[in-house]
Structure 1
Amino acid sequence: MTYPAFETLTLSRSESGIVTVALNRPDRMNAMTSTMFDEFDLLARAVTADRSARVLILTGAGRAFCAGYDTDEAKQLSVMSGMDFLELQERAARALSGIRSVRVPVIAAVNGVAAGGGLALALAADIRLASPAARFNAAFVRIGLSAGDLGTSWLLPRLVGPAVAAEIAFTGRLVGASEAARIGLVNSVSADGELLADAEAMAELICTNSPSGVAMSKRALQANGEISSYAAAMELENRGQALLTRTEDMPEALAAFLDKRAPNFTGQ
């Protein structure tokens, strides 16, 4: 699989199928631009098309994860026409929706500040790990915009609860790494210098499982998070399980379990 050449992102890929992508504008604290939105969209499509990709890790180059929308570009927002701004907003929304919808699990390794759109990007991941330097805030209200942006108002309450989400959204205050872990915003906080190693270890653990089983698990978790019916959730789960019994990996997993050996998954 050949990945596109990126201007704002750097990409590496392990033999086990772990794709690691760093936002690469360290001089601007990895702030988002129109180009980055387009490249997120390209990245999401490429990872989903790469049938041997197993996990996507997102992190930031330098001392930040992502400081949100670049202020140099943001200066133009108040003078853009309503339709021009809507086009830009939808471009950004497609980019983050694409990251959330990637076929494989997405791990955000948050190495520093994740503000505004950077918070939204971290929320779009399936799993969030943080370094002690990680800081989160819904910076939108500090520049006259709404925290109802790029999925934040939907994802944040589902992680931390509506009252805590409201406090974070209305105050725009910083949430440190330890508080983020306590309220469920991140899964865990790594020791200094161990963030990427921890993310890679978790990715490797995911890679020991059936690719199809993991992909269908992600699909079920996301789809059932958007419905309110237990019966509908069960129906989707039933169909997923029935489909997986038709793959090559399911009988291989069962045989490996009985033989007390490691399975040889193909993703087929």
Structure 2
Amino acid sequence: MTEPTDFVLVDRPQPGVAVVTLNRPERMNSMAFDLMVPLRAVLEELHHDNDVRVVVLTGAGRGFSSGADHKSAGSVPHVQGLTRPTFALRSMEVLDEVILALRRLHQPVIAAVNGAAIGGGLCLALACDIRVAASGAYFRAAGINNGLTASELGLSYLLPRAIGASRAFEIMLTGRDVDAAEAERIGLVSQVVAEDELLAYCYGIAQRIAAFSRPGTELTKRTLWSGLDAGSLEGHMQAEGLGQLYVRLLTANFEEAVTARAEKRPAAFTDDK
């Protein structure tokens, strides 16, 4: 396997189990491209690693992933010479590909949600097959709080399928936090455990899955997702991305949200640039 970068770590704590750790704790593992591009590469390599039967995805420090990095987005590859709109589309593609890579992995993926899963971080968790949360974890569909749409990276496709339409509408339209206890009650996660027991609990699930037949687990994952897919996730994500880019590029609401947060005041959103 290619040597992982400092921002994405890969460990093999047990036979058949790979742990992928988002390792940018000082930014709560925010989804800068310096992290997301190597994450995409690591997932692609694990996809073809026949020694790995189950993948565990987690974050370093106190966050699973805080979503978009509002201070330093990092470098997007292969965008030289592009205009701003096309640059934005290519950037969205990189993020979309990470979500799709999680879904397409042969191996079942367990999200060990150790802390905040905000915006795109919530999307990462939802793209995993099983979600287990530490007791201090929480979840937020943050786009609406930033003057954007709450729909991003498959969120409006995946969240209703996980918890039902009414709850998904309410959580996405209010931008409120969902703590670990509520997440377990509504089915967003399958289990809540103490923080110091999180990885051990996930390893136990991984070992149980790895003990079954490879085609049995792979086909079960495929059929579970195909049963939930009323349409195309990829096409839905493209529509989501265009909607998000429309609001981001044609209004000043995102800049207003960031400024208001820094100034500790309510944001005043408008429809003007």
- Structure 1 47/145 Cα, relative in aligned 2: closer, same or farther at 3 Å? same
**Residues 33 and 74 of structure 2 are in contact (CA less than 8 Å); yes or no, is this contact kept in structure 1?**
no
Partner of 2:124: 121
Partner of 2:228: 225
- Residue 90 (structure 1) aligned with residue 93 (structure 2): yes
Partner of 1:19: 18
**Any idea what SS the aligned residue of 2:63 has?**
coil
What amino acid maps onto 2:165 in structure 1? P
1:1-268 equivalences under 5 Å are 2-73=1-72, 81-227=84-230
Cα distance in 2 between the residues matched to 1:139 and 1:206: 33
Cα distance in 2 between the residues matched to 1:172 and 1:74: 22
**Unaligned ranges ≥5, structure 1:** 229-268
Cα distance in 2 between the residues matched to 1:39 and 1:75: 12
TM-score normalised by the chain length of structure 1: 0.80
* Greater Rg over alpha carbons, structure: 1
TM-score normalised by the chain length of structure 2: 0.78
Farther-moved stretch of structure 1 (5-14 vs 185-194): 5-14
**Any idea what SS the aligned residue of 1:99 has?**
helix
What's the C-alpha RMSD, in Å, of the aligned pairs?
1.7
Q: Return the offset for 1:75.
A: 11
Cα distance in 2 between the residues matched to 1:144 and 1:86: 19
What amino acid maps onto 1:19 in structure 2? A
Number of equivalenced pairs:
224
Cα distance in 2 between the residues matched to 1:227 and 1:151: 13
**Unaligned ranges ≥5, structure 2:** 76-82, 232-273
**Residues 40 and 96 of structure 1 are in contact (CA less than 8 Å); yes or no, is this contact kept in structure 2?**
no
* CA distances 1:55-96 after superposition (whole Å, capped 9, x unpaired): 0001110111100011113699xxx82221111111110111
Tell me the percent identity.
41
